[in-house]
Amino acid sequence: MSEQMQTPEKKPIVLSGIQPSGLITIGNYLGAVKNWSEIQEKYNCLFMIANLHATTVRQDPAALRRNTLEGYAMLLACGIDPERSIVFIQSQNPHHAELMWALNCFTQFGELSRMTQFKDKSAKYSDNINAGLFTYPVLMAADILLYQANLVPVGADQNQHVELARDIVKRVNGIMGNVFTEPECLFPKAGAKIMSLNDPTKKMSKSDPNPKGYVAVLDPRDTIIKKFKSAVTDSGSGIYRADDKAGISNLMTIYSAFTGKTDEQIVAEFEGKGYGDFKVAVGEVVADAVAPVQSRFNELMADKAYLEKCYTEGAEKAMRISRRTRDKVYKKMGFTL
Ligand code: TYM
């Protein structure tokens, strides 16, 4: 065998994260986590529970600790393999906060003021517009750049943050030489933006005060089907995608993402059928798909020692990689190490 053939193939690096906000919706699942489990073979992947990000809104410490563990178990339950990917908890690797400080000094006030998530969240939590909420995208840039990630698999709502990370890379590399890799978003084929079931003009969100708006991966089968049955649709008929059929279009996206069927196949399957039939069919497909995730999640939560072993090892592996970038940047900045 030639020397070249023995060299292991250098796969692109992937990093992504999810906040531990108590539950994972099918928006999170289709926009991100399902995709993560499918790309593990193709790329060198790192996935993390972004618990530092979660504290930009007030958290009860005990609940945050529990949600972090549940979020971690959920990633494994969704098929992320801690032997193949590095799966860790953000707060266990101090390099994230350390690199963030350096990047803060290369990010402009004006850039952060333009972030739509900051504008939305500061309107929603007007009594707590803290500095962390404002600099949240800098921490996200640090998450990505620490590992020199090439690809960031996220839903459409995170695009603006990844764009900011790219701008930071260009700026820092222009000043310090090539210290960072420029990341790109990786969107799923279907499901990059799942809309709320009770208002299909709004993104499905786990912080929706009305639980009818979202379906959680851990919702019981009956609840899932009930929520789809009550999904808001227009007063027309016919199952097809159209601008004035936001509700049906969203249900088609969900059905397509879970079954792999194209729009044409869905239209043919439901020809002559009503909205009611379609809603039940979508509910059943979703309930069937999440059932094995739910049982795996329950098994994992019953084995805390295994989870602890996985996240401890995950953090060690993550730190071994991120230390290189943190040290390089700190040296270039003139910090004594
Ligand atoms: P978070 O926790 O809000 O969401 C996790 C992932 O789910 C996607 N998502 C959706 N996709 C489709 N339709 C929806 N309705 C929907 N709602 C959420 C999000 O796009 C995301 O991919 N800032 C991130 C977490 C993070 C991160 C990172 C991501 C922290 N550091 C570094 C990538 C790289 C967040 O709050 O995601």
Please list the active-site residues. 121, 203, 206
202 within domain boundaries: no
- Count of domains observed in the chain: 2
174 lies in the same domain as 318 = yes
284 lies in the same domain as 309 = no
Q: CA 54, CA 60: separation in Å to the nearest integer?
A: 11
The residue whose CA has the least distance to atom 16 of ligand 1 is: 27
Probe target for ligand 1 pocket from 28, 103, 164, with the most ligand atoms within 8 Å of CB: 28
Tell whether ligand 1 has an atom less than 6 A from the beta carbon of residue 257.
no
Residue 7 is predicted with a pLDDT of 53
154 lies in the same domain as 20 = yes
297-309: string of b/e by CB count within 10 Å (b at 16+)?
beebeeeeeebee
The residues, any chain, with a CB within 8 Å of residue 331's CB and separated by 6 or more, are: 337
201 within domain boundaries: no
91 within domain boundaries: yes
Long-range contacts of 315-319 (CB under 8 A, 24+ apart): 315/88, 315/89, 315/92, 315/93, 317/86, 317/88, 318/46, 318/48, 318/86, 318/88, 318/92, 318/93, 318/147, 319/93, 319/95
> Dihedral sign, CA of 214, 215, 220, 226?
positive
Q: CA 182, CA 198: separation in Å to the nearest integer?
A: 38
CA of 158 to the centre of ligand 1 (A): 6
Residue 207 is predicted with a pLDDT of 85
Q: Which ligand 1 atom minimizes the distance to the CA of 25?
A: 17
Angle at CA 187, nearest 5°, toward 181 and 189? 145
Phi, psi angle pair for 237, to nearest 5°: -145, 170
Q: Which ligand 1 atom minimizes the distance to the CA of 195?
A: 15
Residue 22 is predicted with a pLDDT of 83
Q: CA 86, CA 72: separation in Å to the nearest integer?
A: 12
CB 76 within 8 Å of CB 87: yes
110 lies in the same domain as 41 = yes
The first and second tokens of residue 169, run together, are 């890379």
Domain that holds residue 148: 4-191+304-333
Tell whether ligand 1 has an atom less than 6 A from the beta carbon of residue 27.
yes
Whole-Å CA distances, 48 to 56, 204, 253, 332: 17, 21, 27, 27
Tell whether ligand 1 has an atom less than 6 A from the beta carbon of residue 250.
no
198 within domain boundaries: no
Conformational region of residue 160, where left means phi above 0, alpha means psi within -120 to 50, and beta covers everything else? alpha
Angle at CA 250, nearest 5°, toward 41 and 252? 75
- In a structure prediction context, what are the per-residue pLDDT tens digits for the chain, which is 337 residues long? 444 455 556 899 999 999 998 889 999 999 999 999 999 999 999 999 999 999 999 999 999 999 999 999 999 999 999 999 999 999 999 999 999 999 999 999 999 999 999 999 999 889 999 999 999 999 999 999 999 999 999 999 999 999 999 999 999 999 999 999 999 999 998 899 999 999 999 999 988 889 999 999 999 999 999 999 999 998 899 999 999 999 999 999 999 999 999 999 999 999 999 999 999 999 999 999 999 999 999 999 999 999 999 999 999 999 999 999 999 999 999 999 9
Q: Which ligand 1 atom minimizes the distance to the CA of 136?
A: 23
176 lies in the same domain as 87 = yes
The residue whose CA has the least distance to atom 7 of ligand 1 is: 28
147 lies in the same domain as 224 = no
The pTM of the full predicted model, rounded to 2 decimals, is 0.95
121 lies in the same domain as 85 = yes
Tell whether ligand 1 has an atom less than 6 A from the beta carbon of residue 34.
no
CA of 319 to the centre of ligand 1 (A): 22
Residue 214 is predicted with a pLDDT of 97
283 lies in the same domain as 308 = no
Q: What is the CATH classification number for the domain harbouring 61?
A: 3.40.50.620
Edge-to-edge order in the sheet of strand 44-49 = 86-89, 44-49, 13-18, 151-153, 184-186
Q: Which ligand 1 atom minimizes the distance to the CA of 53?
A: 30
Probe target for ligand 1 pocket from 14, 16, 18, with the most ligand atoms within 8 Å of CB: 18
291 lies in the same domain as 310 = no
Angle at CA 20, nearest 5°, toward 14 and 26? 75
Whole-Å CA distances, 180 to 86, 144, 168, 270: 20, 10, 9, 49
57 within domain boundaries: yes
Hey, what's the torsion of the CAs at 288, 46, 85, 19, to 10 degrees?
Answer: -40
CB 186 within 8 Å of CB 14: yes
The residue whose CA has the least distance to atom 34 of ligand 1 is: 16
92 lies in the same domain as 65 = yes
